Structure 1
Amino acid sequence: MEWYILKSGAILAALLLFYKLLLEKENMHNFKRFYLLFAVVAAVGIPLITLTTYVEPTAGNFDPVLFHYSEEISVAESKSFSDYMPHVLWAIYAGGVIFFSFKFIRNLREILLKIKINPKIKKGIYTRVLLREQVDPHTFFSYIFFNRKKYEQEQIPREVIIHEEAHARQKHSLDILFVELLQIMFWMNPLIILLKDAVKLNHEFLADKAVVEKGVHTAGYQKTLLQFSSGHLHSDLVNPINYSSIKKRFKVMKTHTSKKAIWLRSILILPLISLLFFSFSNKEIVEREINVLPAETMNTTTLMLEVDNSGKFYFQKNETNLAELRKHINNGSYTSYHIEVAENAPSSIMIDLRQLMAQNRLAGSVALCTTKTAMQDKATPEMMAEYNRLVKYYNALQNANPEGEIQVKQEDINRIMAILGRMTPEQKENAEQIKFDVPPPPPPAPTPQPQSPPAPEKSSKNVDVPPAPPAPVMGNMQAPPPPPPSPMESVKDWIEEGAEFFYNGKKTTDQNVLEIVKKNGGKNLEVRVEENPTGKTVKISDKKSLNHNPPTSSRDGLKILPAPPVPSENKQPPPPPAPPKTSSSENLGFIYTAAQSPPSQNSNTLEYVIDLAKRGANFYIGPHKYSHEEAIRMVKKSTNEVSIDVSKYPDVILGGC
């Protein structure tokens, strides 16, 4: 603000100095009128203009910036008077604005009151207002004020009336109002007062010129002006006939300026304006932007997607489709993606999305793949509608056959129980009540007891001992199982499938996983792969150190088996361990993992589920698969009797959760 006031004052001072030296005494009053108004506009506007210079960036512009951090605790310093100085200055400025605004409104009100209460005479486009007090003739817009007594006695000279009509016709009051409003905003600049005096004096020059052009003798007109130089006070908003120096007006009245002099002085203004413009406008140097090819651009923009339960997906909160999404990705403006998926979103939509992301990642436009499943705290409206539809259907069958039994599909029962487990107490009260008998889950298949061969009957007879089996021939030995894929190949396959990676419990990127596996060569790493509705989750840990002969152990549902022994020439090699039946544990090339046999039935449902989880079971509620932690949490929260079906172990079906 201070710099703006200084620049504005300097511009106005330069323009006024030029006016006083070269223009004021010349007989070119119309040009001077517009010059003075332009001086005001230039003084206000030039400091607000910014000249922008574009330069080419240099190598020095890209030097890294070093940030120094200090751990010292800053102590609050007491404020001095200089800290409050800006508030004091603004308060003084506001006080000046209020003072000059009040003065302007008071003067305007006085003029309007005179027009309202005094008699008026309409003469063409002018209105003559007759006042009782002794005043010199003056003008405000089209209103000309005269002393009533002198006007009625015809003591007002004709040249005076012509002078005032010239003020009204040329609308000099507009200039005065403009300068007065400017003075309210820039009252602290004393040059505004000099500018206002110059504007009013030039108005008198214009009115005097109009009188002389009407054929009035100059000497007689000058005597008339002397008669009205009484010095009566007038409002700042009017044009009195005796304003300013009579001597200066007489001198200018006799001056004649040639057209050549007018053109010369007009041309001199141009370099002055140019000098002021480039000296007091703001300067800004801006480096040109470097257009880097998309392949070289380090863009870290993340593509945000949301998928709801109905399968609709949204880009930046707006619903979109695969075709439009492919256009956004192909533009090369995204290097990663983040998908928030509702828990019951169709898996087909996620497969399409993940394939699209994987393709673009392989092309180099996606560097980070992350997915997030939006957890729900209650059953969705779609789930409630499905639940009510199934229950109403089987209730109707039961009502049609009240005495007999109805056949209920196992998959429908699983779905009903799964949705019932998601409901809140309020949803359960409003849901359709089950009126048919829910069949219990099928009992687990009995474990077959190994049958021992019957004992040979005792006999005193000599029994021929069968001959020993022939020694195995090396050419007929069973070939060992094919080696598992290398760790790097497994990781690359998971990356192509769009898997999500965790290392020691923390989320990591595809590139970091490749570096970790490459560094360790796949040794001393424990890997766990989990399937979920959005894809695979791969958890890698180096917390277990594996030796050359690791003992058989069980941890979190994984069983670590020792490496198979090398077959000898005289011994049949044992068969390889059976591959696991579930996708939650895989032969990864790092360790061999497999689910253990189911534990014996336990009367405590929660303990039984925990024991199943420890042995690597896969939990299902209906068609949906849940992790160990989710299954245990659902059993804990369930208020109904939970059924456990282990007939398809290691796949365990839970009901009533």
Structure 2
Amino acid sequence: MLVYLVKSIACMAAFLVFYRLMLEKENMHTFKRFYLLGALIASFIIPSVVFVEYIEPISSSALEIPLSYSTTDTIVSEQPTDMDVINWPVLFGWVYVIGLLFFGFRFFKHLVHILRRIQNNTKLKENSSIKVLIQEQIPPHTFFKYIFLNRKKFETNGIPKAVLTHEETHAKQYHSVDVLLAEFLQVLFWFNPFLYLFKKSIKLNHEFLADSAVLKTEKNTYNYQNTLLSYLSQESFEKHQSIGMANAFNYSSIKKRFKIMKTKTSKKAVVLRSILVLSLVALLLYGFSEKKAIQKERTMPKEQENRVRTTPERVSKHKAVPDQMQAITSEESRILETMYEKVPKKESANDESFPKHPEKMQDGATQGQIAQYNTLAKKYNAMLSKKGNIRIKKSEVDRMEYIYNVMSDTQKANAEPFPDFPEPPEPPLPPVDKINKVEQKLLELEKKRTDRETLIKEEETKMMEQELLLIQNEVEIKELEEIKELEESEGLEELEESTHQEEIGMIEGKVKKEQAKIPAPPAPPKPKSPLDHAIEMAKQGATFYYKGKKITSDQAIKILKNDKDLSMDIVKKNGNAPVVKIDTHF
């Protein structure tokens, strides 16, 4: 993060120097406005740009595997210093938070001040701007579409027309957007001095833009300059200063503004400076962006890949090999294995250049190693004894573990106790696991939805079966009735007739039971009363008429409350507000 901030400040400085030298004195104010805003944003984007370069893997034939290595490391100071004990990231974090709170409070204080001025004073809307008339003797200033003016001078026509045109230009071109962006970035990065200079240049260029708009209507530049000098008062400006985030009509940089009024910039100069801006951006991208080299994956023959699979078991026994030698390729591991097999066993047993076990490499640690271990152990024991966050370096912990394993029992008893480090935090969940969990959750939701649809289909099937059964029973009843009529016509005996009646009664009872199982349909909703309709139409902004006379919605509701026998006719056309007519009948 610190490197990113340094690069961002450097980019901002380069953009600002280029602006002051090549653009500020030129009469191309619209181009300068977009340059300042673009440079401000690009200063935060360029350091975060990463260019990736894919490189070919290094050939194993070009590698030289050393036969020996030295375990000697740089001996650090034996006594820990106060600088090591101070937790600098936490200290700088608190300093940043304090500055953020201070500048954030200042930002919102100014914003509330402006909003109160707008709320508590008389407002006069003219064209696309709103003039706020204030009792205090303050210079005219603009915030978005609001122009703040002294009430007495405005009512007596004491404010020149050129000054009003100047402030209306600020409002029409939305200069307050640029100032608010600079103010907000100043709150977040209050420690960056170039943000203050950027904000000053942005506000000065706004004055150039407003002056240019005035001179398009005021052809005489000399008269406009005299108006500025006669209207502005340094004493009044210092006594009644306007809010910093507003575009104020003030006395500052008046000399630069007079020079710019007489300056003319040719089209060739504009094109040339545009090319220089692009060249500057390309140069900053090359100098301050991040370059990342990624080695391409190297493919190997199948026979060589099978041979490599047996190599790590033998090479992993050499625990004393440094980390940079352990990260080897398949071809390098084969060469290392061959070289190790050629070393005589008697020599390799006592040879420190290629030990099998670092703890048996020598009879105890050297004095330099013990001094280094004691220094690191004291440092971390002191940190662990104090409550709070500590910073543990893996390289130093690995070094202590290595020396502690080499030390003899006597040396361990006389040395500093090995620090009791806390358990490392659990690694964050890999993105793949998170994706798997999301997919699993989606599958569960899909299963629930499928089960619900299956249940609904089963219920519908049961309902259809019951309806078919009822239809079948009704058909059977009709058939039996036809048989009864036929038997009566043929003069059958009463005994047979009673038998048929019993069968019909049984079937009818069965039909009634099946009908009882079918749930009754829900009751229809109660229709809305005219009063409820009137309240609903009033919420939609309807127009009400009572016996042909237009009335308000409150009057319509009151009439409907008193007389519930009235009727309503509602008309809606082309998406307009509805028209409601109330009368005794239609």
Rg larger for: 1
TM-score (norm 1): 0.43
Larger helix fraction of residues:
2
Larger strand fraction of residues:
1
